[in-house]
Each structure stands twice: as structure tokens, then as C-alpha cells.
Amino acid sequence: MYRFQNIFKQIDFALLLPVIFLIITGLFTVYSATHITQASSQNYFSRQLFYAVIGVVLIFAVTFVPYKVIFDLSYLLYGVSLLLLILVLFIGIRGYGAERWLSLGAVKIQPSEFAKITTVLAVARYLSRNRRNINHISNLTVVFLMILIPFILIAKQPDLGTSLVFLALIIPMLYFAGISWFVLFVLVPPVITMVVSFNLYAYMVWILIITIILIFARQKLYLKILVFLQHILVGSLMPVLWNSLREYQKQRILTFLQPEKDPQGAGYQIIQSKVAIGSGGVWGKGYLQGSQSQLNFLPAHHTDFIFSVLGEERGFIGIFIVLTTFLFLFLYMLYLSNQVKSSFSRLALIGFTTILFFHTLVNISMTIGLAPVTGLPLPFLSYGGSFLLTSCLLIGISMNFSRNRFQP
């Protein structure tokens, strides 16, 4: 009895309960979205139920793995996932979208999902070691390589949505590892410069802003001048570089940035999604009553557009509850990252929060037309075993960190 209470105490319910709530909501919504397509409906729901059960078991299993095992294995797992990513380029099976699968008999794995977790763990371990000074150029390079290698391998698949998750990891993880403002300033704005350089006016305004910031920055003069020159150079080289590309290369890049090649097709999806959500109103049309979602007008309405089904049937109230749950989960994970003693756990938690947050933000923004259609699933709600298991694994590790929060 004492032992049982002990185990009970070690479970972080603030993490577990929101996740269970989201998974159950997801199961109901998947059922609603697919029950009309008769024959296969049972299939979708029961398959998702199957993965949900495995996912919850996985959460508990990982929670009670010794903390040291996770820390020790992190580099090894990272190496394995890189190997799998390389392997999948050669012997992978193409899925319905751009993602690729490795088929091991009856089991199919998506190495890119696995790589999200291992990359976070490996980077966290690297950054936490000996209190490295992240502002040092060599350490920075290593971290960049650790994230960019899986990024490039996945982008080559070519799975844009998933690869972007890796890019999104860079800033928060470096940020919490203690990168200085100025390094951040050197890293981020050139990307913006690249984009705005296509419009002369936007570019001029942007350079003006950069100049003002530089003037007030407390740095050595020659560094400021270097940064300024960097922006001028990037800005003036980009259009030249772009124009020197051949037409089909440009087209390829544009397609890469816009995975839905047919903008009208994607626009149509978003209109349908907005009609579904908007017509739900404050209270929603009621469970299984959504006329838009039932119309099968939303392709992938049980995967990418699951939130639209929820919005139509449960209304603003339902949406608000689910959004609040997500927000609570993320804020609690951040809070947890401040509570744990080990910097490995802390950085890993930051990485995990970023992964989940990025998926949630991009997916939900897409359903109301604030973001392009990228095909990123919504954690815990979207149909799909692979991503559900990844999310559960990630929560399991977080609960493990929570259990071992006083471990240095």
C-alpha cells in the first residue's frame, strides 16, 4: 500500500490529466469525422483507440525508466535516428503525403518523428555539459549542425512541415541555453532581410530599423559595422542569386515553400474549414451534427483539419476549453523546466514544449486561415498513430523529468 502511494505520488498529474483529456477529445472527434464514411469508419476510430491505449501505456512506462538511462542513451539514440533517416532516403516507402516510412515487416516507423525527440535530447545533453558557453562560435556550430543535419535529411524526403519543426527548435533552445542578445541579433534578422530584399521599400525600412538597433546596441564599433555590412550584402545578393536560378529551380523552391502546389486547392480547403468553424457558433451544432464536416468537403478532416470538426460541433466554448488545455500544458511544461535541477532536463523540456507548441500553433492557425496549409498534425487530437505515439513518448519523458526533478 505504501509502495503504491509512493508510485502515485511520483506521477505528475498536472501533465497527465490535460493529455488524457486531449486524447479522449481527439478520439471522439475522430469518430465524428469518420463515422459517416461507413465501412472504414470503424477502422479509423478503433485504430486510433488502439494507438491511444498504447500511447498511455507508453507514458507510464517511460515515466518510470531510470533518469540516467535517458541521459546516457541520448547521443546513441540521436545517432540511431540519423542512421534511420539516411536509410529511409534509400529504402523508404512513400506515404500519402511527402513523408517517408521505414517498413519492418508489419511495423511501419516514421524516422522523422523519432528524430524530433532524439535531437532535442542530444542537443540538451550537449548544451548542459560543463556549462558550455554557448556564445562561443565552436559550440554554436556544433549545436547548429546537430539540428541542421536531421533538418536537411527530412527536407530532402521532402517533408517540409516536419523539417520546419527542427528549425523552430533552434532559437528557443539556444535562448534558454543562455545565448546573448547580440548573437541572437546576428542570427535571426538576416533571415528577415532575405525575405524583404525582394521589395525595395520594405528592404529600406528594414535596414533603417537594423541601423537604429545597432546604434543603440552596446557593442564594439567594428562588430556593429560588420553586422550592418552583413545585412547590406545579404539584401543585395539575394535578388541577384534568385534571378540567376533557372525557371524550374525557382518553381521547385516555390513549391517547397508552398506544399499545396495548387493554391486554389488549398484556398478551397481553408474556406471550407472556415465555414465549418464559423457556422459552429458559440455552442456548436452538437456532437455528430456538423453538416460541413460530414459533407466530406474537407479532405483530411480527420487528420489535419480535425480542429475544424471540433469547432463546428462544439463551438467556441469547446474550442476555448481545448485551447486553454493546450495553453495550460505548455505553460506548465515551461514552469517545470524552471523547477528541475538538471540543465539537461530543463533544456529538453524547453525543446519538447517547442515541438508541441509549434505543431499546435501551425495546425490551428491553418484551420482559420492564418497560416498556409502545411500538413502538420495537431498533437493528441489528429488521427495518426505515429505522431500520437511520439507525443506520448515526449510527455512520458517529461513526466520522468518531473519525477526526478531534484536530480542534479
| Interaction of residue 188 with another protein, rule CB under 8 A | no
Q: Which is nearer to another protein, 211 or 291 (CB)?
A: 291
Report the residue from 98, 368, 372, 407 that binds another protein according to the rule CB under 8 A: 368
Q: Which of 46, 236, 249, 296 binds another protein (CB under 8 A)?
A: 296
Q: Are 270 and 307 in contact (CB under 8 A)?
A: no
Instruction: Classify residue 344 as left (phi > 0), alpha (psi -120 to 50) or beta.
Output: alpha
Residue ranges in 118-157 that form contacts with another protein under rule CB under 8 A: 131, 133-134
Window of 15-23, 98-106, 111-119, 310-318 that interacts with another protein by CB under 8 A: 310-318
298 binds another protein (CB under 8 A): no
Cβ nearer to another protein, comparing 231 with 285: 285
- List of residues 6+ apart from 327 with CB closer than 8 A: none
Which one of residues 25, 29, 343, 386 is an interface residue with another protein (CB under 8 A)? 343
Site for another protein in 21-80 (CB under 8 A): 36-38
Name 23's bridge partners: none
Q: How far is the CB of 323 from another protein (least distance, A)?
A: 6
- Helix, coil or strand: residue 19: helix
Here the cell at position 352 is 519538447
- Which residue, chain included where needed, has cell 488521427? 383
Q: Which residues pair with 107 in a beta bridge?
A: 104
Separation CA 228–CA 152 (nearest Å): 29
8 A C-beta contact, residue 85 and residue 155: no
List the x/- string, 232-271, binding to another protein by CB under 8 A: --------------------------------x---x---
Residue 130 DSSP one-character state: G
Q: Assign residue 375 a region: left if phi > 0, alpha if psi is -120 to 50, beta otherwise?
A: left
Contact status: 88 vs another protein (CB under 8 A): no
C-beta contacts of 321-326 below 8 A and 24+ residues apart: 322/22, 322/25, 322/381, 323/364, 325/18, 325/21, 325/22, 326/18, 326/22, 326/360
Q: Report in angstroms how near the CB of residue 216 gets to another protein at its nearest.
A: 19
- Determine if 342 is a binding residue for another protein (CB under 8 A): no
Position of cell 542537443?
Answer: 123
Of 297, 383, 387, 401, the one binding another protein (CB under 8 A) is 297
Stretch that binds another protein, among 136-144, 201-209, 241-249, 329-337 (CB under 8 A): 329-337
Smallest gap from Cβ 280 to another protein, in A, equals: 6
Can residue 175 be called a binding residue for another protein (CB under 8 A)? yes
Q: Among 57, 195, 233, 295, which residue interacts with another protein (rule: CB under 8 A)? A: 295
CB-CB contact of 34 with 40 (8 Å): yes
Residue 361 found at the interface with another protein (CB under 8 A): yes
Q: Near another protein by CB under 8 A, which window of 61-69, 198-206, 243-251, 328-336? A: 328-336
List of residues 6+ apart from 393 with CB closer than 8 A:
58, 59, 62, 117
Distance CA 292, CA 283 (A): 16
Decide: 20 and 56 in contact? Cβ < 8 Å. Answer: yes
Report the residue from 41, 80, 316, 321 that binds another protein according to the rule CB under 8 A: 316
Distance CA 152, CA 150 (A): 5
Total site size for another protein, rule CB under 8 A: 53
CB closer to another protein, 166 vs 326: 326
Residue 276 binds another protein (CB under 8 A):
yes
Give me the helices (H) in 340-404, please: 343-367, 385-403
Interacting residue ranges for another protein, rule: CB under 8 A: 36-38, 131, 133-134, 172, 175-178, 180, 264, 268, 272, 274-282, 291-292, 294-297, 311, 315-316, 319-320, 323, 326-327, 330-331, 334-335, 337-338, 343, 346, 350, 357, 361, 364-365, 368, 370
